[in-house]
Amino acid sequence: MGLAVACRRVVHIYRIEGSDVVALSGVDLSINSGEMVALVGPSGSGKSTLISLLSGLMRPSAGRIVVGGYDIGKLSDAELNRLRGTEIGVVLQGSARNLLPYATLVRNVWLAQRRAAATKGIELAEPEQILDLVGLSAMARSKPPELTRGEQQRAALAVGIAAGPGLLLVDEPTSQLDTSGRDEVVAALKSVNAVRDTTVVVVTHDPEVGTQLGRVVTIRDGRVGAEGRDGQDFAVVAGDGTVQLPPETLGEFPPGTLFLVDHEEGVVRLHSDGD
């Protein structure tokens, strides 16, 4: 079963050369079990940082992250390692970072299952079944250098789901692929979600990937700025009550603009000071 995700007022600060850099500044986000979500936004907006926090590769500076009932910030390093080896799958950006080039795809998947195989109560699919799920059954005895880029990325997905995780976190899986390769990777993600009910969270710069996954969460300036669902874009009320206006409105209403707020019968209207 997929794992639900809840982020509440999540803040993350990097310490770089004696100064603090705020990567996330109060992220509120809920993802249901079995949901597919794309995280989009400009470079440096905090998307990859959020993925690293969800996986437990980093800990939040403030706020709370709960994945499937686990409070990520309260787990020990050993508990986080066990979680990543069994219940959270991570696919890093660049397929080569996820695969051993000298091992066959079957061997790569088997190696990714070792921690889960040693955990009592976990039943694992055969590596060949996992490769079939991402459309690579015919390449099971091949090694990564023998594959196309799209096939390598799908092989990285197979490694990410090898242990049967309830949450799959994927960073930029289509960044170096052509349209055909991109669509193959997205189809593989959908197959994993449909067959296993795995919750899937993908960081991407490609708006088409977001459209195909269904729910698009835009990260701007370190927080959730907007959401897209069923072709419509929505502003999001953050935990502190703030709402980010779409970037295109800032030309007419720059930072510091004063608004009167009129709320009546479920409708909120903003009146600028010049109106």
For helices 149-160 and 179-196, the axis angle rounded to 10 degrees is 20
pLDDT tens digit sequence for 72-99: 999 999 999 999 889 999 999 888 999 9
pLDDT tens digit sequence for 20-59: 888 898 999 999 999 999 999 888 888 999 999 999 999 9
Beta-strand relationship, 36-40 and 199-203: parallel
Of 222, 171, 224, the residue nearest 23 (C-alpha): 222
pLDDT, the chain, mean:
89
Query: Class for domain 33-59+75-244, per CATH?
Result: alpha beta
Domain boundaries, the chain: 33-59+75-244, 246-275
Helices assigned H by DSSP within 33-176: 47-55, 77-86, 105-112, 114-117, 127-133, 149-160
Mean pLDDT of 190-207: 92
